[in-house]
Amino acid sequence: MKDYIISLFNKLSEKLEYIAGLDLTFSAPAQETHGDLSTNVAMTLTKKLRKNPRQIAAEITDALDYDERIISKIEIAGPGFINFFFNPEYVASIVPVIIREGENYGRSVINNGKSAIVEFVSANPTGPLTVGHGRNAVIGDTIATMLEWTGYKVDREYYFNNAGRQMRILGESLRLRYMALCGEENEFPEEYYQGEYLVDIARSLFEREGDSLKNNEVSFFKDIAEREIFRDIENTLSNINIKMKSFFNEHSLYEDGKIEEVLKSFQEKNLSYEKEGAKWLKLTELGMEQDKVMVKSTGEPTYRLPDIAYHITKFEREYDLIVDLFGSDHAATYPDVMAALKALGYDTEKVKVLIHQFVTIMEGKEVVKMSTRKANFITLDELTEEVGRDVVRYFFIMRGISSHLNFDLQLAKKHSDENPVFYLQYAHARICSILRMADKEGLEPDDSLYRLLTAPSEITLMKKLHQFPGEILYSTSGFEPHRIANYLEELAALFHKFYTECRIIGVEKDLSSARMALAIAVQTVLKNGLGILGLSAPDRM
C-alpha cells in the first residue's frame, strides 16, 4: 500500500518541484478516522515555502493523480496531515496474492546474489551453554533467517578459542576429577571449574578406561573436555533448532600464519611498537583513546590480534555483509578491532556489530548471578526441557535486543501456559481446525471472491496482511527481530477478533468460500512468520 503512495509522490515531483528529493515519511495513524496512511510533508515544508501547512497540503492533494480503485479518499486534517484512505476492494485483493505466493509471501529479492555471515554464540568450550547464551543464540539465528528472507545467502558461524589459560584450567580440572576416581586424594582448588559436568566426563572416562590414563598430560584431558563439551553445546543448540554452518577455531589462525601476517602488516604500516617486552598497537594514531597490547610480554597474543586476523578471514571469504553478535560484556572490544581493520584497508562498512544486553535471571525476587567457573548457572538445556523449545525461542526474541531483560524462572515455569507464544500458535491451530471442519462440510475456499470481504474486522485484518513483507524488510534492515514477534501478536489478535465477529461456516456459500480464503491467507502469514522466528506452527493444540 505504501509503495503505491510513494509512486504517486514520485510522479508528483515532476509537477511540484519542491517535492523532489524530499525525505517522505508515511505512517499508519493511531486512529482509524485518520485514514490508513498519513504523511506530514506539508508541515515539514512550511519553513521552506513560507506558507500555511494546510495550504501546502491542499496544493499537493490537488496535484495528486491517483487511481480511485486503489484510493477511496484523501483528506487534509489537523495541522496539515494528508490522510489516505484505501479502497476496501483493493485491500481485499491481497488475499489471492498471499494464496498464490504461499510460503514465499514475505520474501524479497533485494539482496539476491549477496552473501552474509552471522557470527554468534561463540562461547568458549569451558562448560554447557547457559540461559545467558540463549539470548545470543536465538537472536543470532533469527537475524540469519531474516537476512535469508531478504535474499542473502547466509552462513552461521561459531568462533571459539580452545587455547589459553582458561582452557588449561579446564584440562587440569578434569584431570583432578579423574585422578580422584583413580583413588588419588587431591584438593580441588576454588578457582577451578566446579561444574558437575566435568565430574560426569571424568566418570565416563574412568568407566571406559579404568585408571590407565593416569599418566597423561593436562593437554590430553583438555582435549577430551573440549570434545565432550562441544558435543554438548551442539546438542543444546540443536534442541532449540539452531544449526551452525561452521565452527571457526581461533587456533587455526596461528597454524595458517595469519597472526604473523597481521603483525607484519602493522609493522609495515608503522602502527606497532615494543614497550616493556610487549608489542603494542598504536590505536591513538587511529583516533582511539589509548594504545593497547597485542602481544603480551609472555609471548601470548591478547584477544585483539586473533580477532583482527579472524575478521580478515571474513573479508577474504568475500561476504557482502558481516554480522557480529555480542553480549554487552564484549562491547568494549570491537571498536579497537574495527579501527585496526580499517587501518589495514578493509571496508568496515560491511561489518555490522550488534550488541545485545544481558538477561538478568531472577528466582522470585532474587537475582541469580551466574558463572561458568563457579557452576552456579542454569543451563540452556535445563530451561528448554522445562518450558520447551518454542517458549525459549520466543522469550528471547520478543524484546528489543538493547533492552535489559528480566527472566523470572519461577514465573516461566509456573505460568508457561500464559506465554504469548501460545497465543500465536493458537491462532494458527484455530485456523487449521476451522478449515478441517469446513472441508468436512464440503466447503471450498475461493480467493477470487475477495470482494465479498467487507466487514470492518475483515478489512483491518487484511490491512495487517498487507504489511507483512514491509515489516520483514524494515525489521531486517534495522536488525530488530522482535518486531516480527510484535507484528505476529497483532496479526493474531486481529484474527481472533475476526473470528468472534464473522462466522466462516454457516453463512452464505460464497461468503463462506471468501472467508476460508482469508483464513488461509492469515494461516500462511502466521506460518511464515513463526518460521522466521524458528517456531513451530501447530495444526492443533
Partner RNA sequence: GCCCACGUAGCUCAGCAGGAUAGAGCAACGGUUUCCUAAACCGUAGGUCACAGGUUCGAAUCCUGUCGUGGGUACCA
Which position among 55, 249, 302, 536 is part of the footprint of RNA (CB under 7 A)? 302
Separation of alpha carbons 135 and 142, rounded Å:
11
Q: Based on the shown chain and the rule CB under 7 A, indicate whether residue 7 belongs to the binding site for RNA.
A: no
Separation of alpha carbons 431 and 537, rounded Å:
11
Which position among 121, 137, 323, 434 is part of the footprint of RNA (CB under 7 A)? 434
CA atoms within 13 A on the CB side of 515: 24
234's CB contacts (< 8 A; 6+ apart) are 244
For residue 375, the SS3 value is coil
- Listed in sequence order, the DSSP H helices in 93-217 are 94-101, 131-149, 165-181, 196-209
Least Å distance, CB 191 to RNA, is 13
Which position among 239, 474, 479, 531 is part of the footprint of RNA (CB under 7 A)? 474
Cell of 85: 484512505
Q: Which 230-289 positions form the footprint of RNA (CB under 7 A)?
A: 250, 275-278
Which position among 17, 30, 364, 508 is part of the footprint of RNA (CB under 7 A)? 30
CB closer to RNA out of 69 and 296: 296
Separation of alpha carbons 457 and 32, rounded Å:
12
Q: Based on the shown chain and the rule CB under 7 A, indicate whether residue 388 belongs to the binding site for RNA.
A: no
- Kindly provide the b/e burial profile for residues 283-322, where b requires at least 16 CB atoms within 10 angstroms of the residue's own CB: beebeeeebbbbbeeeeebbbbbbbbbbbbebbeeebebb
Which position among 348, 480, 526, 532 is part of the footprint of RNA (CB under 7 A)? 480
For residue 379, the SS3 value is strand
Q: Based on the shown chain and the rule CB under 7 A, indicate whether residue 328 belongs to the binding site for RNA.
A: yes
Least Å distance, CB 498 to RNA, is 8
Separation of alpha carbons 176 and 189, rounded Å:
10
Least Å distance, CB 209 to RNA, is 32
Least Å distance, CB 211 to RNA, is 33
Least Å distance, CB 447 to RNA, is 17
CB closer to RNA out of 104 and 433: 433
Residue type, 396: F
CB closer to RNA out of 135 and 178: 135
Q: Which 75-134 positions form the footprint of RNA (CB under 7 A)?
A: 77-79, 81, 83, 124
Q: How many residues bind RNA (CB under 7 A)?
A: 92
Least Å distance, CB 210 to RNA, is 35
Least Å distance, CB 365 to RNA, is 10
Q: Which 179-238 positions form the footprint of RNA (CB under 7 A)?
A: none
For residue 427, the SS3 value is helix
